[in-house]
């Protein structure tokens, strides 16, 4: 099973092993990772599971969809080229040991 590494601004990190198909948001919320809220349960509707994906994995991710695109404009922390909604990124073997940074602000 692939592993996700959530890193916080205080340099602490949490490694979580999940089955393929699990989203970053679900993995974080189920394991109590601080700073990922996931209010809307994964419908790309609330913009509270914002993460910054490590650049080395950018090319491996699916393209940003229309719903995710408009919601990324509504994140509380500034959007960057590495911004994604955790609920729209599903884990797969090629994303094994993906590292994502949790923003300081989510609501």
Partner 1 sequence: MSTSTDAPASCPFSGAAAEASSISPAKARPSSETGAEAPSADWVTIADLHDDPFPIYQKLRAQAPIHWVPAVNRYMVTSYAAAHEIEQNEADFTANERESLMKRSMGHSMLRKDNPEHQIDRDSYGKTLRPATIKNHWNEIFAANNDKYLNELQAKGPGADFVWDYAAPYTAENLRLICGFHNASQQDMQRWSQSMIDGTGNYADDPAIWAKSAESSAEVDAAIAEMLPYLAKNPDHSLLSGLASMPIPLEAIRANLKMTIGGGLNEPRDVLATTVWALLNHPDQRHAVQNDDALYSKAFEESVRWVAPIGMYPRETTRDLVLEGIALPQGARLGVVLGAANRDPQVFDDPESFNIFRPKKAHLAFGGGVHFCAGTWIARAQVAQIALPTVFRRLPNLRLDPANASVDAGWVFRGMTKMPVLWDS
Burial 69-80 (b: 16+ CB within 10 A, else e): eebbeebebeee
Name the pairing type of β-strands 83-85 and 50-53.
Answer: antiparallel
Query: From the CB of 86, what's the least distance to partner 1, in Å?
Result: 15
Residue 74 binds partner 1, judged by CB under 8 A = yes
Stretch that binds partner 1, among 11-19, 57-65, 74-82, 85-93 (CB under 8 A): 74-82
Q: How far is CA 84 from the centre of its chain?
A: 6
Query: From the CB of 91, what's the least distance to partner 1, in Å?
Result: 20
Residue 51 binds partner 1, judged by CB under 8 A = no
Residue 90 binds partner 1, judged by CB under 8 A = no
Instruction: Specify whether the CB–CB gap between 38 and 29 falls below 8 A.
Output: yes
Residue 37 binds partner 1, judged by CB under 8 A = yes
Residue 21 binds partner 1, judged by CB under 8 A = no
Which residues have C-beta within 8 Å of that of residue 72, sequence separation ≥ 6?
47, 50, 64, 79, 83, 84, 85
Q: Residues interacting with partner 1, by CB under 8 A?
A: 9, 29, 32, 34-35, 37, 39-41, 43, 45-46, 48, 66-67, 70-71, 73-79, 104-107
């Amino acid at each position: 099973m692939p592993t996700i590494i959530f890193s916080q601004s205080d340099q602490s990190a949490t490694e979580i092993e999940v089955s393929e198909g699990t989203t970053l948001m679900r993995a974080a919320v189920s394991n109590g990772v601080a700073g990922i809220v996931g209010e809307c349960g994964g419908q790309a509707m609330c913009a509270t599971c914002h993460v910054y994906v490590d650049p080395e994995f950018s090319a491996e991710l699916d393209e940003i969809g229309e719903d995710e695109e408009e919601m990324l404009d509504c994140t509380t922390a500034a959007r960057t080229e590495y911004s994604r909604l955790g609920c729209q990124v599903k884990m797969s073997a090629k994303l094994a040991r993906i590292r994502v940074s949790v923003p300081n602000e989510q609501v």
